[in-house]
Amino acid sequence: MEVRRKERIDRGIKVRSEGIYCVSSPKEMLYVAGPRLLLIAGLLLLPLVLEMAPYWKRVVNIMCVYGLLAISFDFLANVVGLVCLGGAMFIGVGGYMTAIFNVYLHCPVFLAIPLAGLSGALICTVLLLPCLALRGVYFAIVTLMYPLLFTRIIEALNILGGTNGITGLDSFPNPYLENYVIIVLLLIFLFGLRRLMDEDIGLVLRGVKDNDQSVRASGINVAHLKALAVFITSFIGCLGGAYLAHLYMWAGLSLFALDFSIIPIAAVTIGGGGSMMGAVIGTFILVPLSEFLRFFGTFRIVIYCLILTGFIVFRSEGLLTYFARKYDQFERWAKI
């Protein structure tokens, strides 16, 4: 029997466009920038394309919020190595903070959202600080508990509007602004985080995941680094939550819902972790899917979990890595 194996070879254009050489000709430039430009242009045009369908414009907004959560989960899990099982915590804290700034302190929308992002990130970081100096599953355990805990506290003490939530938040001045605020935020943070990973600090952060002892041996405080990473990600998450609260004009207990924790995880697993781009692609698949599955109610979470488990077990590389391979390499069967 003839034994063959699959051989993968980089495409010529991929090799030619590596590093500085990519500026040698328009073709190479397009090869490198094409997929990224496609994403940016597609996202920016989406609200205009969906002009006739206001409902789906709203879905795009929510999709971008999930996208923010997914890139922050991806950054935390696959770069720094901290698995956050409670993305809802960021959304909830951000949403409630913006409600406090906007309703109680009468800040305008575009001041309240950044303020909520900063203060919420600070709160989340301080709350998560005790488990940052430790390895292992502690971070996952503590983040799992916080969203449940916030719900209980707000119910029990009947603060911040209790079970009714805080109503009467200002909405965005016009629907286009509503769309583009979140789309631009998503793009900024997506490319910002990718940039950050290529900086020195990104290298050190990846070192924290791979070998924290050697990072420590280089005289760098691992707990500080982790706190910085948690601050960045919770800032992104809280901004998403603040935006969502203004979109609904309401901040309530459903901001701590399970969906905000599980969809980003599923999106990252489906899209492929480590590059942020996979996370965004995963959300763009999952969130519209969940709109079609609205009929099923909570059964949607079961579907996400099954897809997620399937991907983790059988296709742990994710879709993006798969397509990137097809884009960069060709495959052929070779005799051994």
Instruction: Give contact residues for other proteins (rule: CB under 8 A).
Output: 77-78, 81, 83, 85, 130-131, 133-138, 140-142, 144-146, 148-149, 152-153, 155-156, 212, 216, 222-223, 258, 262, 265-266, 269, 296-299, 301-302, 304-306, 308-309, 312-313, 316
Nearest residue (CB) to other proteins, 11 versus 152 = 152
3-state class of 130 per DSSP? helix
Nearest residue (CB) to other proteins, 149 versus 249 = 149
The structure tokens listed for 300 are: 């949607």
Taking Cα atoms as reference points, which of 301, 312, 316 lies closest to residue 88?
301
Taking the complex as a whole, how short is the minimal distance between the CB of residue 163 and other proteins, in angstroms? Answer: 12
Cβ neighbours for 115, distance < 8 A, ≥ 6 positions apart:
97, 98, 101, 107
The structure tokens listed for 255 are: 């901001």
Instruction: Map tokens 């286009």 to a residue.
Output: 176
Yes or no: say if 93 and 244 are a contact pair by the CB < 8 Å rule. no
Taking the complex as a whole, how short is the minimal distance between the CB of residue 165 and other proteins, in angstroms? Answer: 17
Taking the complex as a whole, how short is the minimal distance between the CB of residue 148 and other proteins, in angstroms? Answer: 6
Nearest residue (CB) to other proteins, 101 versus 139 = 139
Taking the complex as a whole, how short is the minimal distance between the CB of residue 174 and other proteins, in angstroms? Answer: 37
CA angle 239, 250, 128 (to 5 degrees): 40
Yes or no: say if 156 and 253 are a contact pair by the CB < 8 Å rule. no
Nearest residue (CB) to other proteins, 185 versus 265 = 265
* Beta-bridge partners for 166: 251
Taking the complex as a whole, how short is the minimal distance between the CB of residue 94 and other proteins, in angstroms? Answer: 20
Taking the complex as a whole, how short is the minimal distance between the CB of residue 315 and other proteins, in angstroms? Answer: 12
Taking the complex as a whole, how short is the minimal distance between the CB of residue 119 and other proteins, in angstroms? Answer: 21
Nearest residue (CB) to other proteins, 1 versus 313 = 313
Query: Side chain identity at 196, as an amino acid letter?
Result: L
Cβ neighbours for 297, distance < 8 A, ≥ 6 positions apart:
none
Nearest residue (CB) to other proteins, 152 versus 325 = 152
Nearest residue (CB) to other proteins, 118 versus 140 = 140
Taking the complex as a whole, how short is the minimal distance between the CB of residue 155 and other proteins, in angstroms? Answer: 6
Taking Cα atoms as reference points, which of 280, 220, 248 lies closest to residue 92?
248
- Alpha-carbon distance of 35 to 125, in angstroms, equals 34
Cβ neighbours for 26, distance < 8 A, ≥ 6 positions apart:
none
- Alpha-carbon distance of 322 to 77, in angstroms, equals 20
- Residues 204, 283, 148, 111: is their CA dihedral positive or negative? positive
Nearest residue (CB) to other proteins, 96 versus 311 = 311
